[in-house]
Amino acid sequence: MARQTKKKPISVRSEVRYERRRTALEAVRNGESPSDVARVMKVPLRTLFTWIARYRKGGDHALREGQRSGRPRKLDAAMMQWLYKAITLGEPRQYQLPFCLWTLALVRLLLKRKYGIELSKSGVSRLLGHLGLSPQRPIYRSYKRNPEDMKRYLDETFPGLRDRARRMGAIIYFVDEASVRSDSHRGTTWGKIGQTPEVEDSGDRFSLKLISAVSPRGDMKFSCFEGRMNGPRFVNFLKKLHSDAGRPIIIITDGASYHTSGPVKRYAAESQEQVTIEHLPSYSPELNPDEQVWNHAKARLAKRFVATKAEFKAALFSILLSIQRSTRLILSFFQLPATKYASDAI
């Protein structure tokens, strides 16, 4: 008769340590920074990556003390820590790779070059998920922007405008223009894997030119215009905006030529400080919360089918009116990392 061996009971302390490791890994997988998790858990960062390496080897079971079963792992803690820093603190071109976006194929190539380790794309995807990384649409920033100008705007210019608005009882508006096209498809649709869905298109192309303004209070105004935007048209919009506000307004917009044209400067000067115009740093559209009006509107418009210009205009105006009525949505435009600086300018 075969002799049965008794399993050693798991101690309370061992179970507590096991749950602690599981909690740490869950936090990383949910997007928390490994350095923050290590600090909160009061463990060395290297230890945290060791736990991640064990998990990749054998799942939750491998996190228990004395349990190291599973297939041999290809990456150890030091390699994972290096890879995490490479992706979060740099870009492919820093490693002599020809592109600026991290893809599974590039991460796979980097691991092969650096450590001679070959993983499948699905293996790389799982690895990045264990490190708390996920595929995201990047924010593109112009290489022409001037960091010193941005710092001056955020540290001096805008705080000064905010204080001035409070003294005068003025409303701050961020203003932006956009040309919205009927063929700007940004949406996605479900379909069979490996078979790209086809959507019927009328073949016609329509576009509308609009201007809008949003305030940190949750206000939004918009208007449609024909032809190209110029100084007189911009002044006309400012006059309506000032009239609707019924108090002084401070306009913050980009440095387009018509925003700095003679008619605009004369109108501001003649307003006797009722209308103040300030400009964002060059090549810094992400600082303008009004950009989100167009991002939101275009995304919603892409999900609608329009066959005529009249339908296109009606659909777009319906979307903009819906945004205008949603104070909560407009306030959310001021809660992005790049726009939160303006959220308290009320």
- For residue 331, the domain's CATH number is 3.30.420.10
Are 170 and 295 found together in one domain? yes
> Would you state the pLDDT for residue 193?
47
Are 121 and 242 found together in one domain? no
Are 169 and 64 found together in one domain? no
Are 239 and 338 found together in one domain? yes
List pLDDT tens digits, range 213-252. 999 999 999 999 888 899 999 999 999 999 999 999 999 9
Are 118 and 153 found together in one domain? no
> Would you state the pLDDT for residue 274?
97
Average pLDDT, the chain: 83
Are 236 and 123 found together in one domain? no
Task: Report how many domains make up the chain.
Answer: 2
Q: Is residue 231 part of a domain?
A: yes
Are 231 and 338 found together in one domain? yes
> Would you state the pLDDT for residue 326?
95
Alpha helices in the chain (DSSP H): 12-29, 34-41, 45-58, 77-89, 104-115, 121-130, 147-152, 158-168, 231-245, 262-270, 291-301, 309-325, 327-332
Q: Is 241 exposed, middle or buried (0-12, 13-18, 19+ CB in 10 A)?
A: buried
Residues found in the chain: 346
- Farthest CA pair distance, the chain: 104
Name residue 100's amino acid.
C
Are 178 and 222 found together in one domain? yes
DSSP 140: P
Q: Is the pTM of this model over 0.85?
A: no
Q: Is residue 195 part of a domain?
A: no
Alpha-carbon span 234 to 232, nearest angstrom: 5
> Would you state the pLDDT for residue 334?
96
Are 214 and 77 found together in one domain? no
Domain with 167 in it: 147-184+205-342
Q: Is residue 269 part of a domain?
A: yes
Q: Is residue 154 part of a domain?
A: yes
Alpha-carbon span 161 to 204, nearest angstrom: 45
Are 26 and 92 found together in one domain? yes
Are 172 and 258 found together in one domain? yes
In this model, does residue 89 exceed pLDDT 90?
no
Q: Is residue 4 part of a domain?
A: no
Q: Is residue 5 part of a domain?
A: no
CA distance between the termini of the chain: 83
Are 156 and 231 found together in one domain? yes
Q: Is residue 243 part of a domain?
A: yes
Q: Is residue 190 part of a domain?
A: no
